[in-house]
Amino acid sequence: MKFEKYSISHQIKNSLEKMGYKRPTDIQFKAIPPILKGEDVLGIAQTGTGKTAAFVIPVLHLLLSRKVQKRKDGIKCIVMVPTRELAMQITGVFQKIGQFTKINSFCVFGGVEQGPQITKLEKGIDVLVATPGRMFDLVSQGHIRLNRVEILILDEADHMLDLGFIKDIRDLIYHLPEKRQTLFFSATIDEKIKKLAYSLVKNPIRIEISPKDPVSKNVDHSLAFIEMDDKRFFLERLINENPDSKILVFVRTKVRAERVAKAMGRAEIEAFTLHGDKEQKERLSLLSQFKNDKFKVLIATDVSARGIDIPNVDYVINYDMPDQAENYVHRVGRTGRGVQKGTAVSFCSQKEKDILTEIEGFINNNIKVLEISKTDYKDTLDFTNDHDSNWKNLLKEQEESLKLRRKKKKK
């Protein structure tokens, strides 16, 4: 069924056509009809399946059909998300799909001055996308009124619980009208998620898109067994062998991100880092530049990159294996988005084989192993441009750098 056949406004159909959306994905096909009927929905779908549009399309239609006009009466739809970057991304989807409507969408998040956000809120908005901390600050100050909210959406709910936002979510409920439509989207479902979901929704339509292998069929994913101290040499080689490719590299910690970027710099490779110690303005600038191909290599931690839709990522490199098995799916899902193809490669050391076992159990599949001959392995180490292997000094240097950055932020 094509979008043109759906009972949605012509303004939305026009924007979908302009964006090249013709047919719904599985989660969109199953979620849009019940949302249009006003049902509560519990949607479970892995990353990259189009779940943002699955709620944006019907919500925009519902608000249009209710003739939203008096914005100063209050916000009509709240979308709660775990990270600032995701808030901006979802707001962008609302604005693109709603470009031919008068629905006004806006996002608020911490880490930036609240003055401009307050000014925008005072003018009146229809859809608010927000991270919990900043939203409650503005609610307590009286700048956000929630008494007119008709639709509540929780997106990436599993990640919000991981970050400890469950109390904020429950506190939010007390500020909302009891009569409302609630949409709950998550990449995974476990007892904790299930308990929270069913405390927020009423007789929900449960939709679960969970194939046996949760990794997108558009992603060719494999792994290579590489010792921890040798990983930088193999990353250098992969980047040099793919000079025109956009490459997203995942590491465990902020310190690791800076260390790997420094190693690439010594090998004459330009690489930038994205993690929680970066100022918000710098993080947004880096994401924008990476999306617009201003540089080719971004090294990121899980928290700063989960859920972000970066177009045309050719390679995802798991430089460090993820701490949690499900994060493997989120990481490799940054490539092979939509109808595009992508490649993901994991560097697994001997110490990381236990988590590899967990990951393969989680995805119900064995990850293809790239065999590296002893000669090829040795050549990779021998022909590097990085000849500084004093990692203890490098680690100390990066720790001092991060401490200095934190002191500056406190000031």
All domains of the chain in start order, with CATH: 3-209 (3.40.50.300), 219-410 (3.40.50.300)
Q: What pLDDT sits at residue 391?
A: 47
Three-class secondary structure of residue 251 per DSSP: coil
Q: What pLDDT sits at residue 53?
A: 94
Do 78 and 149 contact (CB within 8 A), yes or no?
yes
Q: What pLDDT sits at residue 344?
A: 96
Token pair 């709910």 is found at 157
For residue 341, count other CB atoms closer than 10 A to its CB: 13
Report the alpha-carbon distance of residue 126 to residue 139 in Å, rounded.
Answer: 16
pLDDT < 50 regions, the chain: 390-392
Do 62 and 224 contact (CB within 8 A), yes or no?
no
Report the alpha-carbon distance of residue 154 to residue 177 in Å, rounded.
Answer: 16
For residue 303, count other CB atoms closer than 10 A to its CB: 16
- Residue 396, strand partner residues: none
Q: What pLDDT sits at residue 401?
A: 66
Structure tokens at 296: 């080719």
Burial of 389 (0-12, 13-18, 19+ CB in 10 A): middle
**What Rg value do the Cα atoms of the chain yield, rounded?**
22
Q: What pLDDT sits at residue 167?
A: 82
Do 187 and 306 contact (CB within 8 A), yes or no?
no
Three-class secondary structure of residue 173 per DSSP: helix
